[in-house]
């Protein structure tokens, strides 16, 4: 089928309610909800997930079944605004917390809420606008070759309007159950949310699991394959590399540690070895994985550039509603204005060179991100790999031009933050425009909706980060901020030249070996970098997904219904834990102590039993479409 003959769900000559005040208000609320949840999830876990499908389902439940409104394009606009919140949060939390950590150490001033909001706003607007010229090449011309999995699934959910009520209730069940679970585990502390065992007969190794809803949800949504790659990375780190360090290290002091390996093991066990050595090996593997993925994408990037500018003018001349985009002249003007603003405004620590870097690499990575999500989906988009590559280049350039020390590091992180947000938002925008293309939405209205979602999220993300930092502090056990910690290490190491390069290069060559074997580097590298306990929780959710995929069904439709129902339930779980995480942060700031563990506590056994029950609930809600069918 040729693309020009494609007929969307709503014909181009039919006008239905789309950009309405109601859709803007509801989308704004969802943007704040999913932005807050994804910020907490990313800071806790180091991963984020797409919110397009749950936002679409909630929108359908509210608009169609509560307010009795009947416009699929209005539903689509709600999810377009709502999903922008989680994407902007994903870009922001990977980098900006590094500024807080430097502020605590006295290397720079703490970033203000206004500064965070402006950095996020600039990155968000640029991300939307830089993707618009690519729509014709990626969404229209390559409709048959680029699937955009979340975008297509979101369109299918919206088109299945008669099922919207039951589907939206599945999301709310997940949200409610996870909220109660999280409140009991980390609020009342009736059982341990992290189960940890050291293996005495295998020095250097340890085993455990974080028994939290969001981890199981991430594992289920990512699937068995991605979860197993992450788990394999953790297994390599905790059962091969760490025992070898313990075996051969002995009385040797290995930089950056200041104590011998034996003393580290005696004082802090596995966690001391992980924090002192494994994080640097994981960072090296992640950096190499990001660069490898970019090198492999170069032919695709060139093809996308050429196709975008070859076809853009033809599309913008069309008078069809479904082919109208924001003017390219307007886009160029706003992009240049934002670059000048970042250069001249003192609240954003980006100099002239930094502004040029943002424009060049921003459009480069917007192109990479927009095409990558078409192949592998938003949840698997290697935004952190792009951010690492940007930080390495930006830090080297800033250092070469005389911007050294704390000012240079803050400038590098600020540049990396804007570009990271650009990549995340560009990927989300392309998924939403794919949904709109299938449904027959007006691209220009969707693009304006993305800008609204970005503005709302930029206003709220600064307050959310300040709240979470005030409650627990970034880099703590409660909020490890693993991605931001890694970005901080990269910038400090390049600027000061004090990275433990042997450990970093060990990670680099592990990544090269993984690439030679034909395995995906980034998921395994993330597994090496993150603690075993966290990846074990993710693996548990992935195993539930695997059980469902191997189950015998009467038809492919039944199988897809069950998998999709599980995705909706676990998406609700992620949102529920995120919301309660924000609530517990408020309690922590105001010194409200809910801990009753000194009265009653079920310990590790209670945690494992509760998590097992939670996994059973995921399975139950996943197969619920089969029960309702009977």
Q: Which of 43-57, 99-113, 389-403 has the highest mean pLDDT?
A: 99-113
- CA distances, 315 to each of 6, 429, 455, 629 (Å): 15, 18, 27, 45
Handedness of CA 412, 417, 420, 421 (dihedral sign): negative
Helix (H, G, I), strand (E, B) or coil at 596: coil
Neighbours of 305 (CB within 10 A): 16
Residue, of 627 and 503, whose pLDDT is higher:
503
Q: What is the mean pLDDT of the chain?
A: 86
pLDDT tens-digit series, residues 214-261: 889 888 988 899 899 999 999 999 999 999 999 999 889 888 888 899
Pairwise CA distance, residues 47 & 31, whole Å: 18
Angle at 518 between CA 513 and CA 522, to 5 degrees: 70
Pairwise CA distance, residues 602 & 236, whole Å: 31
pLDDT tens-digit series, residues 381-399: 667 767 777 888 888 888 8
Element (H, E) at 162: none
pTM for this prediction: 0.80
Pairwise CA distance, residues 129 & 324, whole Å: 14
Pairwise CA distance, residues 150 & 53, whole Å: 7
> What are the domain boundaries of the chain?
3-164+278-502, 176-257+522-629
| pLDDT value at residue 28 | 94
pLDDT tens-digit series, residues 425-454: 999 999 999 999 999 999 999 999 999 999
Would you place residue 162 in the very low, low, confident or very high pLDDT band (cuts 50, 70, 90)? very low
| pLDDT value at residue 125 | 97
Helix (H, G, I), strand (E, B) or coil at 194: strand
Contact 122, 341 (CB under 8 A): yes
| pLDDT value at residue 578 | 82
Segment 349-377 mean pLDDT:
84
């Amino acid at each position: 089928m040729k693309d020009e003959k494609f007929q969307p769900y709503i014909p181009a000559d039919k006008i239905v309610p789309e950009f309405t005040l109601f859709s803007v208000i509801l989308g704004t609320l969802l943007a704040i909800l999913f932005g807050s949840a994804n910020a907490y999830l990313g800071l806790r876990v180091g991963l984020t997930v797409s919110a397009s499908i749950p936002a679409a389902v909630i929108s359908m439940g509210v608009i169609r079944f509560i307010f009795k409104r009947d416009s699929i394009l209005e539903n689509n606009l709600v999810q377009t605004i709502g999903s922008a919140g989680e994407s902007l949060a994903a870009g922001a939390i990977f980098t900006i917390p590094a500024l807080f950590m430097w502020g605590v150490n006295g290397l720079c001033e703490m970033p203000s809420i206004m500064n965070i909001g402006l950095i996020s706003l600039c990155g968000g607007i640029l991300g939307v606008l830089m993707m618009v010229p690519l729509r014709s090449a990626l969404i229209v011309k390559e409709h048959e070759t680029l699937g955009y999995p979340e975008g297509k699934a979101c369109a299918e959910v919206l088109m299945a309007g008669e099922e919207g009520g039951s589907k939206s209730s599945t999301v709310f069940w997940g949200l409610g159950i996870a909220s109660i679970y999280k409140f009991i585990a980390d609020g009342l502390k009736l059982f341990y949310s992290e189960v940890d065992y050291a293996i005495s007969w295998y020095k250097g190794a340890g085993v455990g699991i974080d028994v939290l809803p969001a981890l199981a949800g991430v594992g289920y949504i990512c699937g068995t394959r991605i979860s197993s790659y992450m788990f394999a990375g953790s297994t390599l780190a905790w059962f091969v590399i760490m025992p070898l360090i313990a075996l051969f290290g002995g009385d040797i002091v290995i930089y950056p540690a200041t104590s011998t390996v034996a003393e580290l093991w005696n004082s802090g066990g596995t966690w001391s070895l992980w924090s002192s050595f494994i994080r640097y090996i994981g960072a090296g593997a992640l950096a190499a994985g990001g660069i490898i993925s970019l090198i492999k994408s170069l032919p695709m990037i060139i093809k996308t550039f050429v196709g975008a500018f070859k076809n853009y003018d033809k599309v913008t001349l069309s008078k069809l509603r479904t082919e109208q985009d924001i003017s390219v002249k307007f886009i160029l003007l706003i992009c240049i204005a934002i670059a000048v603003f970042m250069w001249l405004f003192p609240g954003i620590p980006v100099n002239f060179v930094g502004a040029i870097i943002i424009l060049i690499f921003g459009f480069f990575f917007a192109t990479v991100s927009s095409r990558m999500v078409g192949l592998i989906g938003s949840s698997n988009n290697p935004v952190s790999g792009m951010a690492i590559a940007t930080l390495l280049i930006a830090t080297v350039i800033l250092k070469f031009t005389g911007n050294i020390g704390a000012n240079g590091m803050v400038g590098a992180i600020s540049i990396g933050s804007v570009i990271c947000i650009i990549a995340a938002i560009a990927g989300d925008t392309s998924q939403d425009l794919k949904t709109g293309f299938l449904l027959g939405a007006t691209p220009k209205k969707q693009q304006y909706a993305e800008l609204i979602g970005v503005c709302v999220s930029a206003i709220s993300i600064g307050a959310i980060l300040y709240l979470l930092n005030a409650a627990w502090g970034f880099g703590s056990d409660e909020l490890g901020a693993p991605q931001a910690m890694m970005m901080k290490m990269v910038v400090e190491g390049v600027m000061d030249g004090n990275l433990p390069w042997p450990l970093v290069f060990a990670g680099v060559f592990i990544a090269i070996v993984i690439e030679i074997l034909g395995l995906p580097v980034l998921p395994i590298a993330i597994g090496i970098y993150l603690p075993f306990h966290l990846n074990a929780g993710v693996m548990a959710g992935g195993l539930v997904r695997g059980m469902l995929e191997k189950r015998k069904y009467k038809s492919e439709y039944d199988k897809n219904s069950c998998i999709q129902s599980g995705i909706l339930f676990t998406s609700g779980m992620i949102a529920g834990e995120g919301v309660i995480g924000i609530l517990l942060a408020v309690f922590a700031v105001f010194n409200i102590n809910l801990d009753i563990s000194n009265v009653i506590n079920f310990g590790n056994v209670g945690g494992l039993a509760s998590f097992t029950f939670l996994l059973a609930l995921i399975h139950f809600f996943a197969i619920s479409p089969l029960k309702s069918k009977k």
